[in-house]
């Protein structure tokens, strides 16, 4: 498995340039690094997944499109307040951070990066079928956090804290979330199979049985 530092340095020369500058910006200036859910791990995880999708779609996405996608992934929750309920406001905060710190060389890409960040607003404001491949990748990656190895800390606990929902109730809500989980890209459907989703639901039920 390719490491995040390798992705940030673009050691495989997959996309244009590298992301080292933006990683430094996030570590130095982002105010959400320690949030329960919308934290550094979440932003980096979504970037890692987006890179994985770039490898899958390397014959369909240009190097510039990949750069746009990866910058959007890094910044999509920049300066998140750590409170769930007004995602439109959170998106605006992320875009302000992007505009403040964007490299001069990426200014021509600013509008495209901004539009990608906007599609992560939840509840979703635009149908997946109306989105570009890059936008579909980013949204699929963002939705898949609950299928990561750290899901119980990130989703059941972290997202619960940000939503003011106790862990048991959050676990129950996760089952419903997975029932309605619908990935758009072929990449996501292959990576996050229906079996994996069902297995996660069964794992949640086992946790709940221990808590009864």
Per-residue pLDDT reduced to its tens digit, 140-174: 999 998 899 889 999 889 999 999 999 999 999 99
CA angle 201, 136, 107 (to 5 degrees): 135
Which residue do the tokens 């990608």 mark?
116
Specify the long-range contacts of residues 182-186, CB closer than 8 Å, at least 24 apart.
Answer: 182/128, 183/140, 183/143, 183/144, 184/128, 184/129, 184/131, 184/136, 184/139, 184/140, 185/53, 185/133, 185/136, 185/137, 185/140, 186/56
Sign of CA dihedral 53, 54, 57, 61: positive
From the list 117, 182, 141, 124, the residue with the least C-alpha distance to 46 is 141
The stretches in the chain having pLDDT less than 50 are none
φ/ψ (deg, to 5) at 190: -75, -35
- Give me the CATH code for the 4-211 domain, please: 1.10.1300.10
pLDDT reported for residue 30: 98
Q: How far apart are CA 31 and CA 56, in angstroms?
A: 32
């Amino acid at each position: 498995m390719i490491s995040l530092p390798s992705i940030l340095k673009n050691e495989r020369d997959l996309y244009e340039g590298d992301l080292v500058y933006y990683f430094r910006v996030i570590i130095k200036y982002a105010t959400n690094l320690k949030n329960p859910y919308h934290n550094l791990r979440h932003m980096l995880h979504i970037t890692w997944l987006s890179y994985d999708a770039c490898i899958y779609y390397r014959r369909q996405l240009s190097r510039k499109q990949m750069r746009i996608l990866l910058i959007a992934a890094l910044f999509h929750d920049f300066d998140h307040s750590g409170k769930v309920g007004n995602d439109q406001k959170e998106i605006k905060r992320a875009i302000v951070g992007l505009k403040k710190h964007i490299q001069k060389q990426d200014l021509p890409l600013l509008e495209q990066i901004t539009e990608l960040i906007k599609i992560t607003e939840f509840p979703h404001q635009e149908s997946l079928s109306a989105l570009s491949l890059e936008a579909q990748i980013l949204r699929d990656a963002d939705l898949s956090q609950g299928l990561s190895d750290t899901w119980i800390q990130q989703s059941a606990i972290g997202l619960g804290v940000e939503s003011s929902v106790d862990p048991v109730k959050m676990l129950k809500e996760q089952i419903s979330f997975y029932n309605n989980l619908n990935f758009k890209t072929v990449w996501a459907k292959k990576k996050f199979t229906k079996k994996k989703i069902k297995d996660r639901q069964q794992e949640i039920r086992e946790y709940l049985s221990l808590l009864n």
